[in-house]
């Protein structure tokens, strides 16, 4: 079984993003988190991959430890910026040798200061091309896939895959005049956006990119963080209208730490969510702040589940308590005993 088998309604799939530790203390912390969550509710973990492969060995080590010491599946994030196609084939091969069968295929962020990054000719520069590369390595290793697009698609639909591939998706941006609240960090809203009643809209090029990832053989998508369920609903509606059938799993950040929210928004080019930040900033009592943040996240989670989200991918920042509190608050009634 791969992670793509997990998105079956009505039970929401619960998964967690981890990052590779940088210090021995961080290693202890991430492993405490893994064991706590594995004992709680965990359908899979995912482990991030530093820009240009900067955490390659620590990411792979954490992925391998999860495989070897827990029974919870794990997704290895993989980025293509900064690697040649040949190097990427080797990285994918090394993950497969280690027993990894689940990937999150990403472009990765361009090197700092490079505005219009493009890959060298013949190299891999888009997530959809990385999906294709992984499917090619899978075919070489496991032999079950035809390499022409039609048989690859047929194979994919019949689920005869040894490897599951997730990709990134980007919730809608606020319409003209409003600050963006989600969406791809690389640019603003274009006029060619999808029509709809929502105050959010999804960029046309993001839909084209997501469709290309699906056609290359992706199994599901995980979204960038967002703060309003309407942004997720817009992505869902626009994707379905564009023929994208992939399960779209909302990436959820527990909204308890205003400094972290600000930092992540800045990192990802997302506008600060004024309302929740204003409420969090208004209290100096950490317990009260946590209560308010969890309440806001609970409300967001309820709304995305009501919108049809097949699961929740929780950004843990290597700490279990925020996400377990959230699950207790929100999901107890939805989880089978
Ligand atoms: C859930 C999640 C996890 C992440 N994990 C990591 C991580 O571990 N490490 C890390 O470094 N980064 C990570 N990122 C960030 C990600 O690498 C960046 O957002 C990156 O800038 C874009 O990656 P992508 O896979 O969406 O790129 P792509 O899908 O390749 O898109 C990049 C750009 O090219 C355009 N494009 C792509 N394909 C096409 C096409 N066929 N036609 C037209 N236009 C196209 C898109 O519109 C977009 O503007 C993550 C993001 C998310 C949402």
pLDDT in tens, 23-41: 999 999 999 999 999 998 8
Count of CA atoms in the C-beta half-sphere (13 A) of 302: 11
Would you say the CB of residue 269 lies under 6 angstroms from ligand 1?
no
Give the residue-averaged pLDDT of 169-188. Answer: 61
Helices (runs of H) and strands (runs of E) counted in the chain: 11, 11
Alpha carbon distance 84, 35 (integer Å): 35
Alpha carbon distance 304, 320 (integer Å): 22
Cβ(92)–Cβ(137) below 8 Å: yes
Average pLDDT over the chain reads 87
Would you say the CB of residue 135 lies under 6 angstroms from ligand 1?
no
Residue 110 CA: which ligand 1 atom is closest? 21
**What are the angstrom distances between the C-alpha of 139 and each of 104, 243, 246, 290, 317?**
18, 26, 21, 48, 34
Would you say the CB of residue 17 lies under 6 angstroms from ligand 1?
no
Q: How many domains, in total, are found in the chain?
A: 1
Would you say the CB of residue 80 lies under 6 angstroms from ligand 1?
no
Would you say the CB of residue 48 lies under 6 angstroms from ligand 1?
yes
Query: Where residue 68 sits, what CATH number does that domain have?
Result: 3.20.20.220
pLDDT surpasses 80 at 50: yes
Would you say the CB of residue 77 lies under 6 angstroms from ligand 1?
yes
Element (H, E) at 135: helix 127-142
Question: What confidence score (pLDDT) does residue 111 get?
Answer: 82
Alpha carbon distance 15, 114 (integer Å): 33
Q: Going by CA atoms, what residue is nearest to atom 38 of ligand 1?
A: 209
| CA 106 to ligand 1 center in whole angstroms | 5
pLDDT tens, 281-334?
999 999 999 999 999 999 999 999 999 999 999 999 999 988 998 888 776 656
- Residues in Cβ contact with 214 at an 8 Å cutoff, skipping those fewer than 6 apart: 244, 245, 246
Cβ(313)–Cβ(252) below 8 Å: yes
3 state DSSP class of 212: helix
pLDDT bin (cut points 50, 70, 90) of residue 182 is very low
Domain of residue 65: give its range. Answer: 3-334
pLDDT surpasses 70 at 92: yes
Residue 77 CA: which ligand 1 atom is closest? 8
Would you say the CB of residue 205 lies under 6 angstroms from ligand 1?
yes
């Amino acid at each position: 079984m791969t992670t793509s088998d997990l998105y079956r309604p009505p039970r929401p799939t619960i998964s967690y993003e981890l990052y590779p530790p940088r210090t021995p203390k961080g290693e202890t912390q991430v492993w405490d988190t893994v064991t706590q969550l594995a004992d709680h509710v965990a359908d899979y973990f995912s482990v991030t991959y530093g820009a240009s492969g900067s955490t390659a060995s620590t990411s792979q080590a954490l992925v391998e430890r999860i495989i070897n010491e827990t029974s919870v599946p794990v997704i290895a994030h993989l980025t293509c910026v900064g690697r040649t196609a040949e190097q990427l084939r080797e990285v994918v091969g090394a993950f497969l040798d280690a027993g990894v069968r689940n990937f999150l295929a990403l472009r990765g962020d361009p090197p700092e200061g490079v505005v219009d990054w493009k890959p060298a000719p013949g190299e891999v520069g888009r997530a959809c091309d990385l999906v294709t590369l992984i499917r090619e390595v899978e075919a070489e290793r496991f032999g079950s896939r035809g390499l022409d697009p039609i048989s690859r698609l047929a194979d994919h639909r019949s689920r005869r895959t040894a490897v599951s591939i997730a990709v990134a998706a980007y919730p809608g941006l606020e319409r003209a005049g409003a600050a963006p609240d989600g969406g791809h960090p690389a640019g603003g809203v274009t006029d060619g956006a999808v029509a709809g009643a929502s105050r959010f809209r999804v960029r046309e090029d993001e839909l084209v990119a997501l469709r290309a990832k699906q056609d290359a053989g992706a199994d599901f998508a995980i979204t960038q963080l967002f703060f309003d369920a309407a942004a997720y609903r817009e992505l869902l509606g626009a994707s379905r209208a564009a023929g994208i059938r992939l399960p779209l799993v909302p990436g959820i950040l527990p909204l308890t730490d205003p400094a972290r929210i600000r930092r992540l928004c800045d990192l990802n080019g997302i506008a600060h969510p004024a309302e929740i930040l204003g409420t969090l900033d208004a209290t100096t009592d950490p317990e009260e702040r946590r209560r308010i943040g969890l309440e806001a996240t609970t409300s967001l989670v309820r709304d995305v589940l009501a919108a049809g989200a097949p699961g929740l991918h929780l950004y843990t920042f290597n700490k279990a308590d925020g996400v377990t509190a959230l699950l207790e608050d929100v999901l107890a009634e939805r989880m089978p005993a």
